[in-house]
Each structure stands twice: as C-alpha cells, then as structure tokens.
Structure 1
C-alpha cells in the first residue's frame, strides 16, 4: 500500500496539474488548477515514517499544499450512481490515506458507490492561528464536492447523490462543510458554479465539534432545516468525546433534519474499519449501509 502511494505521489510530482493512475486502477487528479487558495507552492506531501507498533501499518501524508482526489470506481455491474468524498483524519497535521481513505473507498465500491479520497491541505508549523486549522481542509472539501458534481456526467454519477464521510479531523471538516451556508473561498472557475453542499453526510468519530467543556457547537457549524441528512458514529470511551457527536445530533433533531446517532461503549478513536480488541465498533459500516439503503442512496440511478 505504501509503495503504491509513493509511486502515485511521484507521478503527481512529475506531471503537476493533471492526473495519474496507480497500479490498482485508482486515479489521482489535482483538485485545483494552479495553486490552491492562499498557497504559493505546490506539494502533494511527504509520507511520515510508519509507526512500529501498528499492525497493519497506516500511511500518513504530511506537508500537503496541493490537494488531490483519488478516484475509486465501483464495478460497472453494481455501480448505482451514488458517490462519496472521503476525508481521512490526522489532526489536520497529516492525512491517514489508507486506514481512513482507500480502505473505506474499497468498502463503498462493494456497495456500488464511487469513492473519492481527498488529500486535503495540512497545517503547517508556521501557522500561528490553530483555530483556523479547519479552513484549508474545508475549502478543499467544498471544492471536492463541486469537482465531483461538475464531473458527474463524465463518471456516470447522480449529481444529487454526492455525500461526504469524515474521520476525526476529517469529520470536523465534513461537519463544517455540511453546516456552512456559503463557500469559504472566492469562487473562480466553472467548477465553482456547482453547489458545494453535499447531499448527505457520515461523521465517524468527528473531532472538536463543540467548544471546550460545553455542548455548544463551534461557531463555524450552522445547522438549519436545510442541512443534509447525517449519520454519526462514536465510541463512549473516545478521548475525542462523543459529546461532540451528541451535540451535533441534538441540533439536527431541533431542526428536524433526518439523522441517526450510534455510540458504541468501547472502541476508542482512529480505528477506521479495523477491529479493536474488546469492542464491536468495527461493525459500524453495517449501520451506515442500513442508513444509506433506507434512504434510497444505494438504489440504481433512474
């Protein structure tokens, strides 16, 4: 897995704007033509050393200033027209691109859903205001939703069935995206004429949705009756407190937005779809599949 990612990264570095195909058939594309908003350089990032205590290991990419989408197509016989943009976690310092990226994409493909793993821009040590760490990833998420919507006909997708799923910090970015009333960057090209609001959302152990020691949502999240339907998954023993998901769900309930909330007693944080000893938290994909199916999101496009 790491080798595949490194090869694709090298291809992207060589070709610059454009696309590169990895050895498993997934395709990388640059999210922005030219520099992303506020950037003066273009880097697809650097893999961090793998952690010796992880089995299997996870791949973490840091120092990203040129975000990319990696497209995973489902089998043509099962493809149903739905799509999802996947936002890995990593505390905004890096993107965990396999455990919370490609592994999730391959699961969605089995459901007939086309998946796009977003390698959003990561925070830099020179960034002084860490309260603004969300801004670049949210800009990239909004752009990604618009990019998929703009290319929906090309990829045989339904422009009205585009979702987002975010893990940890990626869940924070996804939550701000679904709770935003407008774009967080200045619209530019034709792609930016498409809506940046996803049609549904899945927040998996989302991080930092509430103010410290309160249940008040952070000010960047604005929920109303037009907020997309959302499912949330958390663990009771997560150090990134499940109260965050409870507060988000409560606001969805107050605004009569269709929603589900699942809290497992154990599981901790950062598991992706991998098993956790002494827990059944790895069964959350079945809850999400049920929710997607009940909402008609796994049905074939007309």
Structure 2
C-alpha cells in the first residue's frame, strides 16, 4: 500500500514540476548544531543550492559549501508521535547534501510511521579544506562525523522538547551519508572533536541504524572492511540495503553486516539484484529496490520502534 502512496506522490511531483510549481514540505524548525562556529571553521554559511539537473524528473536539490551545519526538524502530527526519532544523513559524495531525495522525502515517510525526523545538513567539502586530524578516516568524512555526533547528542539532550524517548533515537544514511552514519554507528566511544558544552556530555551513540547503499566502507588495499568502522558487541542493531549492480559496491554493506554478525549484533541485510545507486525512496525502472522501505518498516516494527501495521 505504501508503494502506491509513494508512486502517487512522485506522479504528483512530476506534474507539479512540469508546471513549474513543485514544492517540498518545509521543516517545522531549523536548528544550528553549534552555537558559534563549527570546529575548525572560519565562516558560518548554510550553503548554496546548485542548479537542478535537466535530466532529473522529478528533480533533486543539492546544497554545497555548507560550513554552518543545521538540523531540519520534521515532526509527525501530535497524535501520531511514538517517541522514536531518526536523524537523516543525505548523500552527495561530501561535495553537497541532497536535501530532498535523500532528506525531506525520507522524513515524510518516517513521519507517516510516527517517527520524528531530523535532516542533518552536515558540512561539505570546501575549496581549501582544513587538514583532517584523523588521517585514518575516509577522506572528507571527519567533519560530517563531527556533525553527526553532535546532532545525536543535541537531539538526545532536548528529547523532551520533541516528545522523544532518549533511548529510541537512531540514524539513517544514504551513500556518503551512509558512510558518515556508519562512522557515527561505530565510533561513539570517542568524540571526533573537542567537547565544548553540556550537549557534548550526552551520549552520541545511536540506539539503532539504517544504512542505505553506504558508500566506500571497504579498504581499497585489502578489500576488507575499513578498520575505522570499529564494529563490536556494543554496536547498535543495524539495517542495511543495497543493489547488486551498484557501482558503489554492495560489498560495503555485506562486509559491514558480516562484522555485525561476527559480533552478535542484531542486524538485517537486503541485496536487490538491480537498482543502481542514489535512488533514495524513488522507484527505479525494472527494479524492486524501492521496496527497501517496506523491509525497513518490518524491521523497525519487529524492534518495537513503530506500531504494528493496521
């Protein structure tokens, strides 16, 4: 049933776009992650929107040059809120953040399930990037990791403000955002930045994670899971989805799942034969890859994070 809802939404979006009036839902609130400048930054810019690609229909929105990371808050109707929250880290190769296809569209899906959603507009690559302090991390991932850790602590500290339960706060990431989410999921014992205030005293460990076509989790030299993803028995339960024909190889998800399995962490992995990369929740021709959301709903339901299907 949900698949038909998504199809109807996309058809409506396409029609609206052709008329030049496509509109995405506006967030209920926008919150700065850092009171002043983020670690290592000298500017505070919310970013610049790139021109939309003529070949995309419906189009996707991409924002680059972000040095002022923010949370966009999307809340379900008050009578639907179930106390769970998920932080969304969109993809974009760290060059930009895909704010709708891998952001606000996922937020609306989660809101339908009673889950409060926070789209993380994390910092992107800069023309003259500062040196990455932790050279072991994948290139350009340190600042998104910092923003992800900060976002989890901020939401957990302010949980009562959004009717949330502080032990039901998870993360979902797409593509490069999936890599950042995998780092947040595995590297919560140590901050990637110097703690500065009361927010940083609150745990940044997600209670559960969903990684959707996560990008480059493999060590290119060894062909194994990159050691920076420190999977252990305390790693949160994780749902993974990927396509077999994804150029950003599904071995990232397979090896991450294998590490979870070897450590006895509850997890679930779905590999679709077709689907490629970068689809978000949108249908792909000759593929069932968009049904990953149905499987994710099953997983969330089994973990009592959303209500039973009616």
Q: Do Structure 1 and Structure 2 share a fold, with TM-score over 0.5?
A: yes
Paired residues for 1:177-196 under 5 Å: 177-180=184-187, 181-196=189-204
Of 163, 166, 173, which aligns to 2:173? 166
Counterpart Cα distance in 2 of 1:270 and 1:91: 11
Query: What count of residue pairs does the alignment treat as equivalent?
Result: 280
Contact 1:240 1:269 in 2 (8 A): yes
Other-structure match for 1:241: 249
Is 1:267 the counterpart of 2:275 in the alignment? yes
Other-structure match for 2:59: 57
Counterpart Cα distance in 1 of 2:45 and 2:285: 37
Report the CA distance between 1:263 and its aligned residue. 0.3
Other-structure match for 1:136: 143
Taking structure 2 as the reference length, the TM-score comes to 0.87
Taking structure 1 as the reference length, the TM-score comes to 0.90
Contact 1:236 1:263 in 2 (8 A): yes
Paired residues for 1:1-302 under 5 Å: 24=26, 26-127=28-129, 131-180=138-187, 181-212=189-220, 214-299=222-307
Report the CA distance between 1:299 and its aligned residue. 4.4
Report the CA distance between 1:84 and its aligned residue. 0.4
Counterpart Cα distance in 2 of 1:120 and 1:287: 27
Task: Provide closer, same or farther for how the CA distance between residues 88 and 77 of structure 1 changes in structure 2, counting only shifts above 3 A.
Answer: same
Counterpart Cα distance in 1 of 2:62 and 2:25: 19
| Cα RMSD for the two superposed structures | 1.6
Deviating beyond 3 angstroms after TM superposition, the runs of 4 or more aligned structure 1 residues are: 22-25, 128-132
Counterpart Cα distance in 2 of 1:33 and 1:46: 21
1:64 is paired with a residue of what secondary structure? coil
Unaligned runs of 5+ in 1: 2-21
Other-structure match for 2:4: none
1:49 is paired with a residue of what secondary structure? coil
Counterpart Cα distance in 2 of 1:129 and 1:57: 34
Counterpart Cα distance in 2 of 1:104 and 1:128: 31
Counterpart Cα distance in 2 of 1:183 and 1:177: 10
Counterpart Cα distance in 1 of 2:220 and 2:102: 26
Task: Provide closer, same or farther for how the CA distance between residues 208 and 298 of structure 1 changes in structure 2, counting only shifts above 3 A.
Answer: same
Describe the superposition over 1:54-83 as per-residue Cα deviations: whole angstroms up to 9, x where unpaired: 000000000000000000001111110000
Contact 2:40 2:130 in 1 (8 A): no
Unaligned runs of 5+ in 2: 1-12, 14-23, 133-137
Report the CA distance between 1:163 and its aligned residue. 0.3
Counterpart Cα distance in 1 of 2:261 and 2:46: 39
2:162 is paired with a residue of what secondary structure? coil
Counterpart Cα distance in 2 of 1:146 and 1:216: 31
